[in-house]
Amino acid sequence: MRTLVAIHLIAGTAIVAGCNSAPTGQSTAVAPAAGAPAETPTVAMNTTINKSDEEWRKTLTPEQYRILRQKGTERAFTGKYWNTKDEGLYRCAGCGEVLFESDTKYDSGCGWPSFYAPASKTVIAETEDNSHFMQRIEVLCAKCGGHLGHVFEDGPQPTGLRYCINSASLNFEPKKAEEK
């Protein structure tokens, strides 16, 4: 048991060092929150963009490819948008779909862009991710299947959710100054 705990700690801190760390220091695994509405954890994906691996390699930067197509994770506090507070839209870096809007972005302190809700429920797909000795819910772009990050149940109201998203999976489009 001691060995298992040690492995778990290493996985949590070194390998992923990732979206798993809640701001409160809460530990890794996502357990169904008590009293949370009984929702199915998996949302079907209806991918409409099917590019070959070679095509993705050509159109994405190496970092975007590593994260979107190989389910990578950028290091905390290193991405472009973790501290962005400007108004605008966050589009999928793979296909351009609007995934999140700035008014649902909040400062979770975790080092990745965090949102309490997606732009709409249909743009996001979810699937169980049991890698790295953790049970997490992976979040993907429903249109192109690109890996975005994970969703946790420690977010603020009204949803109580925290969509912890890699900056590299997003392209921010600032709201135009002339729009009033």
Tokens of 179: 């729009």
DSSP 12: I
| Shortest Å, Cβ 61 to Zn ion | 15
For Zn ion, the closer of residues 60 and 144 by Cβ is 144
DSSP 110: S
| Shortest Å, Cβ 58 to Zn ion | 16
For Zn ion, the closer of residues 74 and 97 by Cβ is 97
Contact (Cβ atoms closer than 8 angstroms) between residue 2 and residue 107: no
| Shortest Å, Cβ 37 to Zn ion | 27
Q: How far apart are CA 117 and CA 107, in angstroms?
A: 13
Q: Which residues are catalytic?
A: 164
| Shortest Å, Cβ 143 to Zn ion | 5
End-to-end CA distance of the chain: 59
The amino acid that residue 61 corresponds to is T
For Zn ion, the closer of residues 91 and 136 by Cβ is 91
Report the 10 Å Cβ neighbour count for 84: 17
Structure-token match 């390699």, residue found: 57
Binding site for Zn ion (CB under 5 A): 92, 94-95, 97, 141, 143-144, 146
For Zn ion, the closer of residues 79 and 146 by Cβ is 146
